[in-house]
Structure 1
């Protein structure tokens, strides 16, 4: 760039007329002429290199033009593209490969070309790390094109290029690039999702790169890239989209579904072993079932991460439920404290959480088995009933149908609704003194809470709730259980906004009688009766109104 800059400065000097003013009319044409001269110079140097080996020193000239400016923010892209074409041509022609019977002079030339190629690669990586967004993207494409040429035309170097060579440097620069969001998105769209071999090698790079303890910002970028690989190949999948032509040889890992899943599994485990922040842990738990688990040949390897998340409490435990239950159900994971821990998650904060609907969906699955002990199911019913007393209306309308479904699928627990007492003396004593609720809300073991001996008086209390929808839905417990089950999805997404819209939907449900504002509607304002009560005081409201009326008329 120094040579181009020097030539440009000489041609950009502004001429002054006789009065000393600057002539600006020819500046655009002069700038265009300078750019055309620079492009012609670059093209001439490139053509000479292609023409004869004696012009190889032009490569050094072009490299100096690429790095002429001290800052990498605005590299000369024309030079960068020309150098990419030159090196791809040289690699394809075998000029960067040392022949077995080469002379000493030829070995020196090959070594010199390799050094210049390495220098060019480092320059591109510097651009990816430091330059502006548009320059970063161009440098990325040039680097990938060069990696393709090296892997395709240098026998035996394919593994080196993708694992320890140029692609390793490109990946690290991609992750470490400042303000590189658009660059990483470009890599995902143009290479990661498009080519299966690049996805395979990206998994391997993530595994190595994440093995060292990384800061949360770097982990966030790694999670973004690997989470974009959300399409898992099926066992019958045929690998046809590759960046470099693949050899159809036996045991080629790039053509094996199992090998791809193994690399993805290693990459995810390398990320999960890092010190994740709470938002990152929650993000991974949200995508666990549909993005992470399908890549695992051995999902039980996720046990430590899921159990640690489940034991951390709060919303993190809620998000870990689905993955942990999958391992228990499908992979026979031994977690004997699952239901006590699930019971401990039922607190007042849960009913105000944004994950409330997700938790109820999962709990419906967890408690669906008819082989669960009645004492355990009764504890969940009673705990939910107690929490419903202080829950928002949007949560209560989901709790009551949920309890109804549990009572329907576990008939033994219906004693909590009505238990006939045959001892007349005890009946008289209950009518006189009442009784204490045997339920122990402080007991952590759901099988020891005595909930089965209690009653659902909380639901009956909700039948007098201030909100008419809540009161109406609470009455289903007092009616005959003729309905097989309620569809919980009809109640989980209830919100305050939805309830308000339903109440204000006048056009859909018109009022039979117009509502009034006053409890007792007055017949007139400031009547004669008020005047009589004022007893003639001039400051009384009735007198003032009458005086105002007389004055106006």
Structure 2
């Protein structure tokens, strides 16, 4: 086997480097390797070279020892017995003794390679070479079958690592996760590890982040994070097109008991098995007590990275419905996956709209994932089968939110209400209430349900049917005409159109507004070309300090002789006539 460029450079760099375990130079290590490859008489060099495979040893010595040991064991891999067979080889037969000894040394080599690969402080060159050697032994099994036992040991050490495994996962993703059989056995191992962790945990009250007495995460939580990181680094395979998948081993996905027929080697069969293992691995992982940050990452990507590749996406209904019932940001993030299951996979969720109604709070319009949520909200309210009371409740709830959300949120709400009024003409009465004064019966009914200055809508009610939206109006939208943000006051004019005639109007794309923020509103205003710049706040010169509309119930009158008369309901306060030269006097009431 040829040496890599990094290994050769490191091996030829220093020739007098001493080992920490003994006085061994680089030249002596090379000599030991050459003698080992030349004759069986030098088998005792194997333990000496194995002792150099340690992260604490000098890099050049470890690289040279690794290259020699890999060259020695690669031709012998098919003849190395299994661990159980080697344990039963007893007697005086030299060949059996040699095979048993070879098995033990091979296990020591595998353990050293796993340590060099997983150890966080290993040099990049030794980690790369150790991983390649490990995967070569996985590939060169008996009859070319994938040596899953070796690979499972490696993955167990990877998941149990306490330090960051991102560099190793990047290396695996670039080199080996592109092979179908490597992904297949990775899913198999992760499924087993997740099941083992799940059996150890009690399903009582372990839903939050676990930590030790010193504030550090416990072992199970670290394993959960590593499992998720490994799953996230496996690229999504193309299950749609009839493409030929690359295999790392010569046989592929087949074990000893399976026959490698041409029908079972087809891409369709391989993709079917991959989907099955993918589904089992993710289902086992989602049953674990996930840390909060991992939980959010899973919900944010499950509709793109998990659901399309599952053999039966309906299995996720329990996980997504539990997440949707939690409330708050978790429910917002779970809506994407739940919406896909409802629209594409026939999931029935009776209280879906009640939960969606409860999620409409001011916090949603400042959340990180608000863009996706608002687009899904518009899609969920698109059906023409939604009853009028439900459409009115959502329109009124959104209208009330305009009083407390940022300007960008108010623009999104206007677009959502525009689409609601256009899709459901039966709720257009919310725009303007008209009561015929000549019809006394209608006026009496209206007075019973609605008093002047009061709104029958109950914003605290969680049930849309009991919110009273059908007896209310969208008066909050009218206040946006005087909004402090010009963008909002201009955009609200779009609701003045007759939305009942669909031929004259079109639905607004929520994606054009869902990513809005203070920065986007400011940027849009800064780019606008101003045609007319006001030089003063008032268009005409004011002739009084206050306008009559500023103080309802008060009247201000300006007389020629500096006499001001102010009337407040039934109490009248008048001031004495004052001459220009005399001081002002006040009349006590």
For Structure 1 versus Structure 2, the TM-score category normalised by the shorter chain is 0.7 to 0.9
In the alignment, structure 1 residue 226 sits paired with structure 2 residue 217 = no
- 1:420 and 2:434 correspond: yes
Any residues of structure 2 matched to 1:475-486 within 5 Å, and which?
A: 475-481=493-499, 482-486=504-508
Q: How does 1:318-397 map to 2 (within 5 A)?
A: 318-397=332-411
Change (3 A) 1:294 1:490: closer
| Preserved contact between residue 90 and residue 96 of structure 1 (Cα < 8 Å) | no
1 CA distance for matches of 2:123 and 2:193? 23
Mapped contact 2:187–2:277 kept (Cα < 8 A):
yes
The structural deviation recorded for 1:270 is 1.4
Structure 1: gaps of 5 or more residues: 1-29, 522-553
1:520 deviates by 13
Q: After the TM superposition, which of the residue ranges 219-228 and 411-420 deviates more from structure 2?
A: 219-228
Structure 1 residues 84 and 517: CA distance shift in structure 2, 3 A: farther
With structure 1 as the length reference, what TM-score do the two structures score?
0.78
1:138 aligns to what SS in structure 2?
A: helix
Select the residue among 509, 522, 528 that pairs with 2:529.
509
Query: Equivalent residue of 2:378, what SS?
Result: helix
Tell me the number of residue pairs that the alignment of Structure 1 and Structure 2 aligns: 477
Q: Does 1:81 align with 2:67?
A: yes
C-alpha contact 1:385 1:459 (8 A) present in aligned 2: yes
Distance 1:329 1:501 in 2: 37
With over 3 angstroms needed to count, the CA separation of the structure-2 counterparts of 1:494 and 1:233, relative to structure 1, is closer
Q: Distance in 2 between matches of 1:465 and 1:518?
A: 18
1:268 — aligned with what?
282
Distance 1:419 1:514 in 2: 36
In the aligned structure 2, how far is the partner of 1:433 from the partner of 1:171?
70
Cα displacement (A) at 1:347: 1.4
Provide the residue aligned with 1:216 in structure 2.
221
Q: Equivalent residues in 2 for 1:116-515 (5 A)?
A: 116-130=105-119, 131-134=121-124, 135-149=126-140, 151=141, 154-155=142-143, 158=145, 161-162=147-148, 165-177=149-161, 178-192=163-177, 194-213=178-197, 215-234=220-239, 237-246=242-251, 248-249=260-261, 250-251=263-264, 256-424=270-438, 425=440, 434=452, 436-481=454-499, 482-505=504-527, 509-510=529-530, 512-513=532-533
What secondary structure does 1:335 align onto? coil
- Tell me how large the CA RMSD over aligned residues is: 3.2
Instruction: Work out the CA distance in 1 between the residues paired with 2:171 and 2:77.
Output: 26
1:241-279 CA-to-partner distances (Å, cap 9, x unmatched) read: 111112752546995211100001111111101111221
Q: Which has the larger share of helix?
A: 1
- How is 1:520-535 mapped onto 2 (pairs within 5 angstroms)? none
Shift in alpha-carbon separation, 1:260–1:53, aligned structure 2, 3 A: same
TM-score (norm 2): 0.74
In structure 2, distance between residues paired with 1:290 and 1:240: 22
- Residues 292, 433 of structure 1: CA spacing in aligned structure 2 closer, same or farther, 3 A cutoff? closer
Q: In terms of mean alpha carbon deviation, does 46-55 or 179-188 score higher?
A: 46-55
- Aligned pair in 2 of structure 1 residues 427, 441: CA closer, same or farther (>3 Å)? same
- The match for 1:50 among 31, 37, 42 is 37
Task: Point out where structure 2 has 5 or more consecutive residues left out of the alignment.
Answer: 1-11, 19-23, 198-218, 253-259, 542-589
Contact 1:351 1:395 in 2 (8 A): yes
- Matches of 1:513 and 1:375 in 2, distance apart? 45
| Paired residue secondary structure (2:306) | helix
**Cα gap change, 1:65 to 1:132, in 2 (>3 Å):** closer
Deviations 1:35-68 (A, max 9, x none): 599444333333333333222222233223445x
Deviation for aligned residue 1:477: 2.4
3-state SS of 1:274 partner: coil
